[in-house]
Every structure is written in structure tokens, then in C-alpha cells.
Amino acid sequence: MNPNNPLLREASLPAFDQILPEHVEVAIREVIDDNRTHIHALESLPEPSFGNVMEPLEELHHRLARTWSPVGHLNGVMNNEALRERYNACLPLLAAYDTDVSQNEKIYHALESVQQREGQRLDAQQQAALEHALVDFRLAGVALSGEKKERYKAVMLQLSSLAAKFEENVLDATNAFTHHVTDEQELAGLNATIVAQARERAQAADKPGWLLDLAQPTYVAVMTDARSPALREAYYRAWSTRASTSGPTPAQYDNLQVMEDLLRLRHEAAQLLDFPNYAAYALARRMAGSVEEVLTFLRDLARAARPAAERELAELTAFAGRELQAWDVTFYSERLQEERYSISQEELRAYFPLPRVLDGLFAVVERLYGVKVKPRAGVAVWHADARYYDLFDASGKLQGGFYLDPYARPNKRSGAWMDDCVGRKQLASGNALPVAYLVCNALPGAAGQPAQLTHDDVVTLFHEFGHGLHHMLTRVDYPSIAGINGVAWDAVELPSQFMENYAWQPEVLRELTAHVETGAPLPDDKIAQLLRTRSFQAGLATLRQVEFALFDFRLHSEYDPARGARIYEILDEVRREVAVIRVPAFNRYPNSFGHIFAGGYAAGYYSYKWAEVLAADAFAAFEEAGAFDRATAQRFVDSILSRGGSRPALEAFVEFRGRPPRIEPLLRQHGIAG
């Protein structure tokens, strides 16, 4: 391996201060070529064993993942044309390699031989790693014949490129939009930081007034607090029509054909593997057992939430005193919440400076799990916003680490996510500690001031840290099933949604808060008011999530090559079935629905609600024993956080809870009658 290429150096962390676009394709080609050589050697072993086949495969996959991880991460957080070009050039290389390996009949038969000869002698982790590998081979078409195998490979290549194109179009459409304001009255209600940044942006562009962007914090602020209906409408239209031809962003970024192609090719891939549709294919790795089970779950949840949602909408309409447009709902919801609970997200910002929130979050995980978080200086990062932390166990031993990139900025993907930087590995060939990326898109602080978060931002941070703990607290030795790897996709949100509960605990809120001017914690009366907002409009929020999930699942379970994807037709049908808030005809939210078209949630968006049931039921065990009960927390680590994909998700949950999951804790948490 070329030591002059920072992506190829043996190091515990990526050299983000040295990685350049020209390093990317060279490194990926070198690792793939070297991996292919090693795999070829594995094909002809006279006596395949777990140690001489499975472990080398784990090492090879781990090495490639570590090389690619910083590239994929940079593409999301520091996107530019040069990097994008090299990133896209690597996608077909990676897809071809992945398909070649997973369709390699000699390796597959070698692993089958290992299972037959050694299966009973392997420990539980080894058995799980081997079984996961064999399932992956089968689901990748290892048994396909010549023409079908080649077609499957071609489909995988196209899908990889299309997903990247979808994401690029959304990012480019978002970056292309600005809104020029010359009348300060149009900005009434917006927080001072966003207004100041808009003024700076206008000055940099040599324009009078203010220049607003379409970054997520700006969009949320406008929809929540802008008193100007015209500004809210402009932003609703811009955001809900990104990457389409129905709004103000350039038509060249339209994602409609990309979506059509993605759905067509996913369906074809599923049928090549003898699944009736892509949804059925996706469920082969999930907790849910059938398409019908998922659809029934979503529709039952919609029925449970609908009466509450209809009451909430009627209350909101009466409060506004007029018929509501789609761009009015968030604004009047915030005003109603302020009136009813005497509290608002903007008011709370001053109490949630990011440094204090992080200290409080780290205190929570130490109290729960005995782990300590400490910042480490001198680690190379990709942007001045980012920082690095080590995670130590109760004995002081280094357990892993994580990067945090908390703020929105140009050329950074919107939303929040956790991803692997390094997966845990304990193999004969060497060891590696788990490292995570935690990414948010909060509003940066004004000059000389710390960032001030809304409580929604705080909940998001806790959510992503829950994913991070799942990754870092793993005790699984094999990368393919360590951390979040190998976990059923409809259970992977359990640790993250579970962690959100602690952002709603009164004693935690006292620790998380310190007013930026006085240092005082959030007063008890404000904490009480905030807690009452948790179930505010829970019916409407539930129906919105069911709408997204049902739309996604129907798209993938009902695809008919003769009729095409029917994207907007299915969306209209779903809205008529479950939605109570009507949206304008120009709305094209599917065109920027990255979760299902680029983010791994295809036929899986239902996982958020599915896992929310698991998370609410898991937290109910803490409510019964005490929110910080160490015995319960240790059981949660032992059964779920540390186990990765080494056992089925349902078994892990039953081990922790002593029974299968129930929906009642979620309905109770949301204040929705079951």
C-alpha cells in the first residue's frame, strides 16, 4: 500500500487534513485490486475453516470500509465538484467488487463447508457472522445462472450511481436557492442570528438588504417563526419542490426520472432473486415477517392516531381563525404551543448553549453506563466546526471514539445522521476500536457566541448519540455484525429513539441548561411547560410519519413494470387514506426524500415507527425501575447495545424486556388513546 496516499496509511483515524480528491480513486482501486488477489487465494483452499476463510473475508471488508468511509463522509459534509467527480468514479468500482464477491460461488461453497464441518464448534458470534455472510450471498444472487447473474450485477451498478445522483440533485437544488429581502418587516419573527447571517450573505454578494439561504435551520426558522405569510409560502414552495420542476429551484436538478429508474431497477433486482417485489426482498433481513404485517402495523397505527389528529387540526384551525394553508401549520402550531404552555423553541435557545448540552449529554451516558467522554485535541478534522472525542469504559480503558460536526453550512447535506468511521474488530490479523461520525445541522452561533440549540435540536443530538453508543459499546469481534452492522433495519433505530427519552427527563434538563447570559438552569416551571409539549399534536406527527412510511412501502410493494412507479398517484392515494392536513398540488416532497431514494431506507421508512414501539417499551422498563437504574441500564447494554447483529433483534429485545414488544407504551407516551 502506498504510504504517500493518506487513505492507505495504517492509522487509527483518517488524516482528514491531508485527503485530497486525487487520492480517492487511486486508493480505492488499489485496495480493491489487493482484495481481489487475496480472495482469489481463498477460493482454492484445500480445507476451508472459519479461521482461514471467514476471518480473512472480515479483514478484507473492514479494510475497504475504512478506506472508503472518510471519502463517503467528506462527500456528505464537504461536498465539492472535484471530490464529487472522484466519489462518483468509485461507485461503480465498489458496486462491481461487492457484487463479484457476494456472487463468488467458490467462496460461498467454502463457507457452506465451514458451516457443515465446524458449525457446532463455533461460538455464538462466529455462528452469527457466518450465517449473516451466507444469507448475504444468497440475497446477492450467488445461485443465479450466467445471464441473470450478469444482469443483477449491472442493476447493482446502476442503482449505486442513481442513488448518488439523487443526493447530488437535492444538494445542488438546495444550494441554488436564495431569497433576497429588502424590507426588514418581511423578516419579523426570525431569530437574530439568522437575520445577521443573511445580512452578511447579502453584503458578500454586493446586494442590499438580506439574502436568506435554504439551509435546514433557515427553512425551519421561517416555517416556525416568520410572521410574513408570503415568506413562509415562498420557503414552503422552495423546500417542498426541491429537485423537481414544480418550484423555484433549477429544473436541471429534477429527480423524477432518477426515482423512476431506481424503483424499476430495485423491482427487477428483487424479481431476479425470485421475490415478488422489492419490499418482500427488503424484509428478508428485517424483524417484520411479511408485507402484510408492515401494512397492517402502519394502518393500525394510523387508526389509533387519527381521532387525536383530527381534534388537533380542528383546535389549530380554530386558534388561527381561518382555513390553514400548508405553510401556516407549523407557524400556528408554534403560536398555539406558546399560548397553551407559555414556551417556544426560540425562547429555549438561550438555555441550550451547545457546550452545556454536550456536558449534560456526556453526564447522562456516564451515569447510565459508566462510560466517560473526553475531548481529544490535535485530531485532524475536515472543518473547523468538527471536533473529536474519546469514549472510555468504567475502568478507564479506551472503548472507542467519535467525531461531532454539529452545524449547517453550504455544501453539507441537510438532516442529521450517524455513520461508521471505523468498525470494531478483534481478529487474529489485528484489532480496531469503533469510531463514529455524528452529524447534525444546527444553527451556528453568532460571532463570539456559542451555538444555541432549540430543544428539537437537543432531541436530535441525543438521537444520533444513541446510534453512536450502539456503534461504540459493541462487544462483537467481527466487523460485519458489530455495532449497527447486521442489525435488522427495522430495529436499528431502537437505541437512538430510546436515547431521546433522556432529553425529556426533568433532572437531565436541569443539567443540560445554562442561560447564555446568567448561567441559570431552565426554571422548573419552564421544564414542566416543556414536558407538556411532548405529546402536543402527537396525532398529527404520527399520521405524518405513517404517511411517509406507507408511501414508501406501497411504492416498493406495488411496483408494476407495465404501469411504472406511479409515484404521485400512490402518494395521493396514501394522503387520502391517512392524512388530515391537505397539501398543495405543487408539493413534490418525494423528489427530495433522500431516506428512501439515497439513504438506505427503501421499503424501510416504517422502521422509525416500528423501532419507536420498541424504544418506548424499552424505556418503560426504566420508568418502572428508575430512569438511571444501573441494573436495568446494564441489562440494556448486555442485551441490545453490545450485541450488534450477533443475535436476532426480537430475541435481543425479549432478553431485555422478558416478553415481546407492546405498542401501548408508545401510545401512552404520545397521549394517544389505543
Cite the active site residues: 464
Q: Write the single-letter amino acid at 41.
A: A
Residue 436 φ/ψ, nearest 5 degrees: -120, 155
The interaxial angle of helices 21-42 and 105-118, nearest 10 deg, is 60
Classified as helix, coil or strand, 140 is coil
Q: Which of 211, 233, 227 is nearest to 410 (CA)?
A: 211
CA distance 148 to 288: 28
Q: How many helices (H) and strands (E) does the chain have?
A: 26, 9
DSSP-derived pairing of the beta strands 387-392 and 179-181: unpaired
CA distance 423 to 429: 15
Can you point out the beta strands (E) in 384-434? 387-392, 398-407, 417-422, 425-427, 430-432
Distance of CA 602 to the CA centre of its chain: 13
Q: How big, in percent rounded to 5, are the helix, strand and coil portions of the chain?
A: 60, 5, 30
Cβ-proximal residues to 228 (8 Å cutoff; 6+ apart), any chain: 185, 186, 187, 188, 189
CA distance 399 to 392: 5
Q: Which of 414, 449, 3, 503 is nearest to 218 (CA)?
A: 414
CA distance 381 to 439: 13
CA distance 491 to 283: 12
Region of residue 603 (left: phi > 0; alpha: psi -120 to 50; beta: else): left
Residue carrying C-alpha cell 432529553? 503
Give the containing element (helix H, strand E) for 373. Answer: strand 372-375
CA distance 394 to 287: 33
CA distance 435 to 416: 17
Residue carrying C-alpha cell 465446524? 118
Q: Which of 86, 73, 70, 103 is nearest to 24 (CA)?
A: 86
Classified as helix, coil or strand, 432 is strand
Distance of CA 5 to the CA centre of its chain: 30
Classified as helix, coil or strand, 436 is strand
Sign of the alpha-carbon torsion through 197, 198, 199, 203: positive
210 contacts 187 by C-beta, under 8 angstroms: yes
CA distance 270 to 272: 5
Helix runs in 48-123, H state only: 55-77, 81-102, 105-118
Alpha-carbon radius of gyration of the chain:
25
CA triple 214-329-590, angle to 5 deg: 55
CA distance 588 to 39: 45
The most distant pair of C-alpha atoms in the chain lies apart, rounded to whole Å, by 79
DSSP-derived pairing of the beta strands 435-442 and 398-407: parallel
Classified as helix, coil or strand, 122 is coil
